[in-house]
Structure 1
Amino acid sequence: MSAADTTEATAPAPARASNGTPIPEDKAAQVARLLAEGKKALALKQWEEAVEKHASALQIQDEAGVDQLDVSKAPLLFNYGRALFELALSQQGVMGKEEVAKGTGTVDEDKEKAGKFVFEGDGDEDGEEEEGEGEGEEQDGADGEGGDEEEDLPEDDFNAAWEVLDVARTIYEREIARKGADNARDDRMSLAECYLFLGDISCETEKFDQAVLDYRAALEIKTALLPPSSRALASAHYQLSTALELTSAGRPAALEHVQAALDGFKARAEEVRRAIAGETTTEDLARMTEREREAELKDVSELIGDLEVKIDELKAAPVREDLVSGTINHLLGGIGGEVKQDAGPVNDLTSMVRKKKRPAPEAPAAAEDKSEKKPRV
């Protein structure tokens, strides 16, 4: 139930240079083509290609003089951040398998299998990765070597994805303020998706308090815009519960939102049953075939079963002090575990993006609006 399963960002508005004039038609056409190719790569789970396409589109906009916080950049930044996040996840899985393989003495064999599974269709890049890894093993321990490997660690892409999505968040919030909340439903939904992905990234990097803040923000928006039977709303409750379980709020707070997710999926199941029986239907169910409705009911029913098991586990487990914050407290000599703020916003995202593959486009200057920049944990 990740943010990847939810609604994508709205289509970009026409890009304009900082002086208000539209960018040249040929540049606009290039951006549109790259955006379409990038979205296709996302749909096909070709994360590396999706990163490259969206980075190139943003670079063209920058060269054409498009303002760093122009509304046309929000969907591009959203998709770019999502691609970076998914790429980091895929690389994290490969690296984990390689570590296991090293322990069993089957590095080459497992590396080949992992490469085929994750980077299928990217033969040239597989070769680059394997060559680079081989050199790293031969020169292990040499001073100054292995620097390029550091640049390609998933942690770098997670951090870059967070910063990129945070700028998209800022743009959407500005646009909502300009239009008024009642006239900006699509922008509000896109903002909720930004928050969900920000929460996902913070969970992956074990910044659970920050994840809770982001998931709560997404949930607040979706609660205002979606019906109680919405799968997207139920999923947001569940995502929040997973983060809460790993904070000082602990299991009781997580249980509340798992129950809310269960109630939402039960409402959805009843909604689908009524549509199958021909009693009432909703707009989305009306577009489904009979077979699709049956599949939807089966899927939701399985999710209900999973959530009921999760609730039983949470109720049966003893209430205990949060292990994560407790361990950090111990290591820091009893210092409180309050959320810390960065010294300031990251103004240049270029250094956060996979430098080995390509130069990233110059990042939007979030420092222009420090009052709106959200601190990261």
Structure 2
Amino acid sequence: MADPTPPAAPAPTPADSQPALDDHLARGIRALALRKYSDACDFLAQALESSTSKYGDLAPENVESLVLYGKALLGSAIAQSAVLGGAAPGAGPGGGGEATSTAGPSNGAATASSSTPAAAGPSNPNFHFGGDAEDASGDEGGADSDGEGEDGEGEGDDAPAGDREDDLESAFQMLDIARTILTTEIAALEKDGKEEGEERRKREEKLAEVHRLLGDVATESEQFDNAVEEYTSSLSLLSRLLPAYDRTLSELHMLTALALEFVPNATTRAVQHAEKAKSVLVLKLGELEGVKEGEREEKTRREIEDIKGLMGDVDMKIEDLRTIPTAPAPTSTDSALEALLRQSSSAMAEAAASGAVNDLTGLVKKKKKAMPEREVVEEHLEGGGKGGEEENVLVVKSPQGEEAEGKRKAVEGAEDGKETKKVKVSDGQ
């Protein structure tokens, strides 16, 4: 009898899986551009799965899927903050040519628009840093210019699914893997003596983008020290790759300043980065105004006006940062006291661990409360009652110490013709 079980389908070959990978990527990028983060996460997760099954877990070919998936997860987390009232509408990754990004958590103080398409970050826009690249038209996802999706629906956030903290954690994991792959690639190029060239430049630009997104994840997670470190790493890379007047540098300086605003005693550093952000804008303004008035395009005029208004906002932020109170430096007395307290706490902990702590509570003397003395009651028979009958008489004597005084008063009362009080107890009781 023939085996009724159908033969297993052959494993997909690279040629078979590539169309599926490309399709998932295209759909994910499109959903990300339309801020449909739930759909973007689904498509890009499938793209990453196809890529890892085809190339391996840590293959350089996985970087694009990892970065896009990290953006989608970060956008989903920010969208969930918006549902809770913390983020501004329209903020998040993949929002077109000037994607919105913020330093600070969803309820933070300022927002900046990145020149990099689909850049992610928290929202609540007060600062908008547009990019310099004219080709950053937001067509990364292939979205139509009218913002309509495949089903004809307009652009807008969809209802995000999942837990916000889980999305942030997953976004960090995806971006951290991408960072590891890119760092390994750049190190290999350095080893081969390829310290210059387009190939290395592309990897360093992508690594700078990953550091930037990791900074946004840290900011959204309110880990501001980590955010400053990631933004600084991105700045270090891009400062060598971009001209000094590129507004992306201004944005990164401002994001760093806004993150430092939440770091204790970092006001001076925050002001320095804000001033550097302004200096980049000044350079960019000079570059734009170098074109003669009659030769300026409309886009250039709008950008000049935008930069002038933005510089005023940056000046106001610098003044705000300078008015933030800082904790006074500890004096020598404070340091000595703190060291003494630490030493005492350490000694107590060591003594408790060794069981050498003496219990002194038994040596503390407590004042005892005076107990009231019981009254002495005597009973005897006396005659002279009604009908000549004997009576039981109870005599209450004063407590010890007052007995003599009581007797003295009784004698004085008898002399005055007064009788002492007697309690009669009738027979039978």
TM-score over 0.5 (shorter chain): yes
The interval holding the TM-score normalised by the smaller chain is 0.5 to 0.7
2:314 pairs, out of 307, 327, 331, with 307
Matched, 1:202 2:218: yes
User: What is the alpha-carbon distance in structure 2 between the residues aligned to residue 175 and residue 87 of structure 1?
Assistant: 29
What CA deviation, in whole Å up to 9, does each residue of 1:144-197 have, x standing for no partner?
Answer: xxxxxxx92211101110111011111111111122342301110110111111
Q: Which piece of structure 1 moves more, 35-44 or 189-198?
A: 35-44
Computed over aligned residues only, the root mean square deviation of the Cα atoms, in angstroms, reads: 2.8
- Contact 2:260–2:270, Cα closer than 8 Å, also in 1: yes
1:182 pairs, out of 191, 196, 220, with 196
Matches within 5 A, 1:1-377: 24-64=14-54, 66-96=55-85, 152-180=162-190, 181-183=195-197, 184-277=200-293, 290-320=297-327
- Contact 2:218–2:227, Cα closer than 8 Å, also in 1: yes
Q: Which protein is richer in strand relative to its size?
A: 2
After superposition, the Cα gap between the structure-2 partners of 1:177 and 1:312, relative to the gap in structure 1 and judged at 3 Å, is same
Q: CA deviation at 1:303?
A: 1.6
What CA deviation, in whole Å up to 9, does each residue of 1:292-334 have, x standing for no partner?
Answer: 1112212222221110111111223333379xxxxxxxxxx99
Amino acid paired to 2:15 = E
- Contact 1:276–1:290, Cα closer than 8 Å, also in 2: no
User: What is the alpha-carbon distance in structure 1 between the residues aligned to residue 175 and residue 207 of structure 2?
Assistant: 10
Amino acid paired to 1:309 = M
Q: CA deviation at 1:235?
A: 0.7
User: What is the alpha-carbon distance in structure 2 between the residues aligned to residue 55 and residue 175 of structure 1?
Assistant: 23
- Contact 1:85–1:161, Cα closer than 8 Å, also in 2: yes
Amino acid paired to 1:318 = P
TM-score by length of structure 2 reads 0.54
- Number of residue equivalences: 248
- Contact 1:41–1:50, Cα closer than 8 Å, also in 2: yes
- Contact 2:51–2:61, Cα closer than 8 Å, also in 1: no
Q: CA deviation at 1:278?
A: 7.2
Q: CA deviation at 1:62?
A: 3.0
What CA deviation, in whole Å up to 9, does each residue of 1:29-78 have, x standing for no partner?
Answer: 111122122122222212112111110111122333x2111001011100
User: What is the alpha-carbon distance in structure 2 between the residues aligned to residue 292 and residue 34 of structure 1?
Assistant: 35
Q: Which protein is richer in helix relative to its size?
A: 1
- Contact 1:240–1:257, Cα closer than 8 Å, also in 2: yes
User: What is the alpha-carbon distance in structure 1 between the residues aligned to residue 155 and residue 273 of structure 2?
Assistant: 40
Question: Tell me, what secondary structure is at the counterpart of 2:51?
Answer: helix
Amino acid paired to 1:159 = E
Q: CA deviation at 1:275?
A: 2.9
- Correspondence for 2:348: none
User: What is the alpha-carbon distance in structure 2 between the residues aligned to residue 244 and residue 321 of structure 1?
Assistant: 18
After superposition, the Cα gap between the structure-2 partners of 1:188 and 1:249, relative to the gap in structure 1 and judged at 3 Å, is farther
Amino acid paired to 2:215 = G
Greater RCO, CA 8 A, separation 6+: 1
User: What is the alpha-carbon distance in structure 1 between the residues aligned to residue 304 and residue 78 of structure 2?
Assistant: 30
Q: CA deviation at 1:199?
A: 0.8
- Contact 2:35–2:155, Cα closer than 8 Å, also in 1: no
Question: Tell me, what secondary structure is at the counterpart of 1:275?
Answer: coil
What CA deviation, in whole Å up to 9, does each residue of 1:186-234 have, x standing for no partner?
Answer: 1101101111111111111111111111111111101111111010011
Amino acid paired to 1:177 = A
Q: CA deviation at 1:26?
A: 2.2
Q: Which has the larger Rg? A: 2
Q: CA deviation at 1:276?
A: 4.9
User: What is the alpha-carbon distance in structure 2 between the residues aligned to residue 26 and residue 198 of structure 1?
Assistant: 34
Q: Which piece of structure 1 moves more, 181-190 or 156-165?
A: 181-190
Q: Percent identical across equivalent pairs? A: 32
- Contact 2:52–2:59, Cα closer than 8 Å, also in 1: no
- Contact 1:276–1:293, Cα closer than 8 Å, also in 2: no
Amino acid paired to 2:75 = E
Q: CA deviation at 1:247?
A: 1.4
- Contact 1:47–1:83, Cα closer than 8 Å, also in 2: yes
User: What is the alpha-carbon distance in structure 1 between the residues aligned to residue 13 and residue 252 of structure 2?
Assistant: 38
Q: CA deviation at 1:86?
A: 0.7
Gap runs ≥5 in structure 1: 1-21, 98-119, 130-150, 280-288, 323-332, 335-377
Gap runs ≥5 in structure 2: 1-11, 87-152, 330-340, 343-429
User: What is the alpha-carbon distance in structure 1 between the residues aligned to residue 28 and residue 82 of structure 2?
Assistant: 23
What CA deviation, in whole Å up to 9, does each residue of 1:8-40 have, x standing for no partner?
Answer: xxxxxxxxxxxxxx9521211111122122122
Amino acid paired to 1:60 = S
